[in-house]
Structure 1
Amino acid sequence: MKADSGARMRLNLLRQGAERKVLEPLRLHGWIAAVERESAGGEEFLILTAARGDASHRVALLYSCASSNALYKQLATEVEHIFFNGEPYHQESYASGLDKPVGPVDEFPALLVQWNEASRNGKFADVASEDFGPPTRRSMRILLSETPIEAVWLRLRQLQSVTLAEKMIADRARRESASLEPSVLRAKAEGVSYALRNAADYFRKGDEHAIGQRIVNLYYGTLSFAFAEILASPSSADTLETLENSTKQGHGLYTVDAVDDGAKAVAVGMLGSGFFPAWMAAIGVTIAGLPSRRPRSPQDLATVNADTWILVEDLFATIPEVADLFADIFDTPPRWIRPAGDMEANLGQAFGPGAPRSQSYIKLVDQFGRLTAEDIARFPGPISDIREVDSKGDGRHYRVLVKHEHLPQPWDALELHHSPFERSALLLPIFGVIHQYRVICLVLLYALSIIVRYRPSLWRRIQDGDLDHLRALIDAFIAVAERILPQAFLETVAGQPVFARQPAGF
């Protein structure tokens, strides 16, 4: 029984080696490859066949070079080439008197090239045509430019053409298996073109004005981008007219001055009517308990659902790209955290046979050391087993378990934010459920634009008074928004990821 068990084990190893080193490479090049015969009678070997076009071949694969000369001679009458596992061991002795080539299986790739060359049809491989379905464009856009934001704006300007916008929406509809009537497609294209022209005008004019005017322009430019995002979606029934009608009911946001007279304690909230809730519905975000009337005082604010409003300070805390300035100004914890790999915790499960991992450990890094384990538990995603670990003086580190069944990596199970300034960050949602960075930026821009337009005394204090420390934070946020938002909306309008980098940035 022991001998039989050993023979079966060796034959199984031989099959695995044949599949990896011979059969898979053959199939990769269009050959029909299979195991014709196998033997475990003391000296394990396989007979392998391959066919492509009019060509056919048979080779043998031995478990060991140290097989009997009789076996070598027998196989030489059946195959054109004999391979063996491992390195040669007295090959001249064991394989003497043969008229067929013998060598280690690692030499098979060179033989495969010869077979391919001999079986070609002119410049073409002699293989049957395969049906890969209709050809499609790459599912992402990679933009290389010395000035990446200029490459982004170039693509956005292209979509200001109704013709190109129509082609983009039609292509997106095909990818999403959506059907659009020609009149609907044309109306969407005209709306996208108009909205993107508006956005470009507002963003461009912002460069020419003082910070207050830049804030107002960026808010309205971002609002126009949101219009374009909704109209470009093949699944959206909205038209430019219906969106304009929604704004007649207001923007769907409001601000309330809190008890503190500083800008950080201004609250901004969401209403049940107007453009903002229409936008959220279009992107699949549902928020319950929205007020129908605008709260006008801190006392009114206390009566509405706390998940429907947020302080300006907390909005800034959700922007990772200005985190260093935020930490210098405020003592409160950030509302984002950076994920990192945790090889030490995953070492025992990283390798070996079996099903792919369905859960992995990662680290969540708070570089400012202000987040507690209870704060970590509030972040979204399939996170559990939260435990603080030694950060070695680098803020605070938390080890967490992420469940990612049917997903290759734990990051794929988390809604991560990426930008040119922050490789990846997990954001604490605003209004309870909104994690989309572009939406968070619009809400903050709305609040700042209200301060600029309707709270001139407060804005003057920020400009050159006792709140001037906030000016640097606002300046930094505006610079970040001008770089990130156009690219973020290019992605949502075109319906595909966009990677914009300098040529050496990859």
Structure 2
Amino acid sequence: MKSEHIYADNLAEVVWLRLKRLSSHQLCAKVILGRLPAMSEPALTEKAAGMAWAVRSAVGYWETKSGGLNARVLSRYYALLQMSIAEQIAAGDETSTLPSIQRHTEQGHGLFTIAADTEGFPANYLVGCMKSGHFAAYCKTRKMPVDEFAFERRLRKPPNEAERVRLLSLADLLRRVPELQSVTQEYLGTYPLSFHVSKRHISDFELQLDQFGASTIGSLLDTKSLTPELKTKSTVTICPVGYEITAAQANALGLPIKDFKDAKDEISDVTLPTGTLEHPANEHWYQALDLHKSGYCGSSIMVPYWGIHDIFTLHFVILYAFSIVTRYLPNLWHEIEDGKLDHLRSLLEHYLVIVDNVLPKIALERLTGDSVYAVQSGSIYGPT
């Protein structure tokens, strides 16, 4: 994977320019060749044309500014749908073309929603994935194994206990958005399922000698000379902003950081869940975690959903769920816009700002297969 560094005064604008360039057949062909150098000329031509069209279509949806909140929800969902199609073409083999992908989209979106009889919206609004349709095909391209949770067909009645564990509530999906973690408690009444984490530097003997060597081996030795088989441990802390979470709650989430304990931070005098992360001794602690960071949140980990922790797919599923509400559940949508659920209108407005400002960079990285680092000119990381 290569890295692309972008320097600009207006980072959002330059990321958009880099993304929109992929509406060109010629530039799409270069991207595809970079990922699949042995591509034959006829296949390259067909794939580049399909990819460019899908990007152009996605940008058209994304740049829709007129209309109300419902129009913004729908346009952003279809923008991500088209981006996922463009990514399938870019990342797949010679057979991944627009016509072949259409054979899956003709079977449907590959997701479904159903209301449970228990809690109120959005906790009672459940999303499931299927073994057919676009979502399944996209996950296969991305090598994301969701089959264990997928259904043969959509549910027509409230799920039983075995079916419920394969479904995700819209509330729990929103709780996983890293950029919403500081407002999750306010809007949804509970702690998030995505957490800003940092390494805790131990300055006393609380871990005792048996853990001292494990937590410091990476800093005392040359990590390049260590073998991947040699393991070490780092002490990592959840850093809550706008919510509270205990060590017991953190331990129940299945995070890669284990054995959380409530520990008082010496600087802030705040008690924080602090756990242990085992990782190869020749890697830094953060390399063992699938971290997400944007201009709206610090480096954060997410509780897995359907066995994955893919940020683009998370937004795809959330927007799908809201798109169903806006199209087919007018009374519920009325309650969100004008009624007793109007706090969710504010949450959705907040969420769509994140989609518009964070997802373009993620989409650019997915299409090119490269890491993109956008740096403000004049900052400490900018060019001299």
TM-score normalised per structure 1: 0.67
2:151 alignment counterpart: 291
Q: CA deviation at 1:473?
A: 0.5
Give me the whole-angstrom Cα distance separating, in 2, the residues matched to 1:250 and 1:233. 21
Distance 2:269 2:124 in 1: 30
The Cα of 1:377 is off from its aligned counterpart by: 4.8
- Alignment equivalent of 2:52, drawn from 178, 188, 193: 193
User: 1: CA distance between counterparts of 2:92 and 2:196?
Assistant: 34
Provide the rounded CA distance (Å) in 2 between the counterparts of 1:434 and 1:271.
15
Q: Which amino acid aligns with 2:83?
A: F
CA distance in 2, matches of 1:463, 1:407: 52
More divergent stretch after superposition (369-378 vs 140-149):
369-378
SS of residue paired to 1:338: strand
CA deviations 1:227-270 (Å, max 9, x no partner) are: 11111115474211121111111101011122245334211111
Pair 376,184 (structure 1): closer, same or farther in 2 beyond 3 Å: farther
For residues 154-169 of structure 1, the aligned pairs below 5 Å read 154-169=17-32
- 1:171 corresponds, among 34, 38, 51, to 34
1:220 to partner: Cα distance:
0.3
2:312 pairs with 1:449: no
**What amino acid is aligned across from residue 283 of structure 1 in structure 2?**
R
Shift of the 374–229 alpha-carbon distance from structure 1 to 2, 3 Å rule, reads same
CA contact (8 A) 2:128 2:151 kept: no
Deviation at 1:365, TM superposition (A): 2.6
Letter paired with 2:348: I
Distance 1:256 1:352 in 2: 54
How far is 1:218 from its partner?
A: 0.2
Quickly say closer, same or farther: Cα 1:261–1:340, change in 2 above 3 A: closer
| Candidates 483, 490, 499, aligned match of 2:364 | 490
Report deviation, 1:484: 1.1
Structure 1 contact 364–397 (Cα < 8 Å) conserved: yes
Distance in 1 (CA, whole Å) between partners of 2:141 and 2:348 is: 29
Amino acid at match of 2:308: I
CA, structure 1 residues 410+304, in 2 after alignment: closer, same or farther (shift >3 Å)?
Answer: same
CA separation of 1:461/1:170 partners in 2, compared to 1, >3 Å: closer, same or farther?
same
Q: Which deviates the most, 317-326 or 258-267?
A: 258-267
Corresponding residue of 1:226:
84
- Is residue 469 of structure 1 aligned with residue 332 of structure 2? no
Deviation at 1:353, TM superposition (A): 5.0
Asked if structure 1 preserves the Cα contact closer than 8 Å seen for 2:35 and 2:369, the reply is: yes
Partner of 1:387: 261
Residue of structure 2 in register with 1:458 after alignment: 332
What amino acid is aligned across from residue 296 of structure 2 in structure 1? F
Change in Cα spacing, 1:301 to 1:211, as seen in structure 2 (3 Å) is: farther
| CA deviation after TM superposition for structure 1 residue 336, in Å | 1.2
CA contact (8 A) 2:245 2:273 kept: no
Structure 2's unaligned 5+ residue stretches are none
**Separation in 1, partners of 2:152, 2:106:** 15
SS in 2 for 1:359: strand
Matched, 1:268 2:268: no
Partner AA of 1:211 in structure 2: L
TM-superposed deviation, 1:385: 3.5
Residue 371 of structure 1: how far off its partner (Å): 4.3
Where 1:324 maps in the other structure, the secondary structure is coil
Match of 1:87 in 2: none
Shift of 1:316: 1.1
C-alpha change, 1:261 and 1:403, in structure 2 (3 Å) is closer
Q: CA deviation at 1:301?
A: 5.1
SS at match of 2:29: helix
Q: Distance in 2 between matches of 1:236 and 1:262?
A: 43
1:384 positional shift:
3.1
Counterpart AA for 2:35: R
The structure, 1 or 2, with the larger RCO (C-alpha pairs under 8 Å, 6+ apart) is 2
1: CA distance, partners of 2:237 / 2:162 = 38
How many residue pairs are counted as aligned between the two chains?
360
- Is the aligned partner of 1:304 residue 2:163? yes
- Residue in 1 aligned with 2:108? 250
Find the counterpart in structure 1 of residue 16 from structure 2.
Answer: 153
Judge conservation of contact 1:236–1:282 (CA < 8 Å) in 2. no
Matches within 5 A, 1:53-68: none
Q: By how many angstroms is 1:209 displaced?
A: 1.9
